[in-house]
Amino acid sequence: MNQSIIEVRNLVAKYGERTILDDISLDFYQGEVTVILGSSGGGKTTFLKNIIRLTQPHSGSVKIFGEEVTDMDEEQFAKTLKRVGMLFQNGALLNSIDIHENLCIPLEQHTKLPGEIVQRMVRKKLALVNLSHALYLLPSELSGGMKKRAALARAIALDPEILFFDEPSAGLDPITSAQLDELILDLKKLLKISIVVVTHELASIHRIADRIIFLHQGKLVFHGTLAEAKLCPHETVQEFFKVGRFD
Domain annotation covers residue 24 = yes
Same-domain status, 171 and 124: no
Q: Above 90 in pLDDT, residue 110? A: no
pLDDT tens across 116-174, in order? 899 999 999 999 998 999 899 999 999 888 998 999 999 998 999 999 998 888 778 88
- Whether 215 and 36 have beta carbons less than 8 Å apart is answered as yes
- Whether 194 and 28 have beta carbons less than 8 Å apart is answered as yes
Domain annotation covers residue 60 = yes
* Percent with pLDDT over 70 in the chain: 96
Same-domain status, 9 and 126: no
pTM here? Answer: 0.88
Using the 3D structure, point to which of 159, 181, 206 is the last residue of a domain. 159
Same-domain status, 229 and 211: yes
Same-domain status, 131 and 10: no
Domain annotation covers residue 149 = yes
Nearest to 195 by CA among 156, 226, 154: 156
Exposed/middle/buried for 102, CB within 10 Å: 0-12, 13-18, 19+? buried
What pLDDT shows up at residue 244?
A: 58
What pLDDT shows up at residue 82?
A: 87
Q: Above 70 in pLDDT, residue 247? A: no
Give the pLDDT band (50/70/90) at residue 245: low
Compute the average pLDDT of residues 185-207: 90
- Whether 116 and 138 have beta carbons less than 8 Å apart is answered as no
* Higher-pLDDT residue of 170, 229: 229
Same-domain status, 177 and 79: yes
Same-domain status, 57 and 179: yes
Domain annotation covers residue 137 = yes
pLDDT tens across 42-54, in order? 788 899 999 988 8
Total domain count for the chain?
Answer: 2
Q: Above 80 in pLDDT, residue 90? A: no
Same-domain status, 15 and 119: no
User: CA of 176: how far to CAs of 34, 127, 182, 183, 209, in Å?
Assistant: 21, 18, 10, 11, 18
pLDDT tens across 5-23, in order? 999 999 999 988 899 999 9
Same-domain status, 98 and 79: no
What is the CATH number for 221?
3.40.50.300
Same-domain status, 107 and 147: yes
Same-domain status, 147 and 165: no
User: What's the CA gap between 198 and 182, in Å, rounded?
Assistant: 16
**Contact partners, residue 75, CB within 8 Å, separation at least 6:** none
Query: By residue range, what is the domain housing residue 151?
Result: 93-159
Q: Above 90 in pLDDT, residue 210? A: yes
Nearest to 194 by CA among 2, 29, 68, 63: 29
Same-domain status, 39 and 149: no
Using the 3D structure, point to which of 159, 190, 217 is the last residue of a domain. 159
What pLDDT shows up at residue 145?
A: 87
Computed over every residue of the chain, the mean pLDDT equals 89
Q: Above 80 in pLDDT, residue 40? A: no
Q: Above 90 in pLDDT, residue 63? A: yes
Domain annotation covers residue 88 = no
Same-domain status, 198 and 102: no
Using the 3D structure, point to which of 143, 159, 175 is the last residue of a domain. 159
